[in-house]
Amino acid sequence: MNATPDIVAAAQERTGGCLCGRIRFTVKGEAVYPHTCSCPHCKKLGGGPMMWWAGFAPEDVTWTSRIEPTWFETFEGEAKRGFCPNCGSRLAAIDSDVPELGIVVTALDDTSGPDLVPVNQSFRDNSVHWLPQVPDTQNSPVG
Ligand SMILES: [Zn+2]
Ligand SMILES: [Zn+2]
């Protein structure tokens, strides 16, 4: 009870998984650069006007189920997206120029963490005009 909120956030472990439950995972620690993305890939893959992402250190992400995501390479050798081969839920992304593993926030069982609130929106030019954009609250270095 004496821990400060920051320490609690850093130590916390969260659970997540796909819709059918065949893939389950845990993530530890505080989310890095939570953001939404309205790029053409996220719109096609995510089935909506944007996806909601947060980064976690690869060593802090553990696939706890018998099977792991199936990976689809969106840019050969550079980026791939993980999904459940049974129900199709989107779960994760690996980008060669980003040290963190990208987790689809909506795959988490509890999306209420304050460190998950998006601080920016990527690919604004590709966003739909009828939805307000996420403000860049941290003057983010990446677009
Ligand atoms: Zn599934
Ligand atoms: Zn995207």
pTM of the model: 0.90
Residue-level pLDDT at 139: 84
pLDDT band at 4 (very low <50, low <70, confident <90, very high): low
Q: How far is the CA of 7 from the centre of ligand 2 (A)?
A: 30
In this structure, are residues 27 and 56 in contact, taking their beta carbons and an 8 Å threshold? yes
Q: How far is the CA of 61 from the centre of ligand 1 (A)?
A: 18
Residue-level pLDDT at 140: 78
User: Any idea what the CATH number is for the domain that residue 22 is in?
Assistant: 2.170.150.70
Residue 44 lies in a domain: no
Q: How far is the CA of 67 from the centre of ligand 2 (A)?
A: 25
pLDDT, tens digit (0-9, with 9 covering 90-100), for 15-43? 999 999 999 999 999 999 999 999 999 99
Structural domain of 97: 5-34+52-112
Distance (Å, whole) CA 11 – CA 28: 7
Q: How far is the CA of 5 from the centre of ligand 1 (A)?
A: 33
What's the Cα-to-Cα distance from 135 to each of 36, 39, 97, 98, 117, rounded to whole Å? Answer: 10, 16, 24, 22, 11
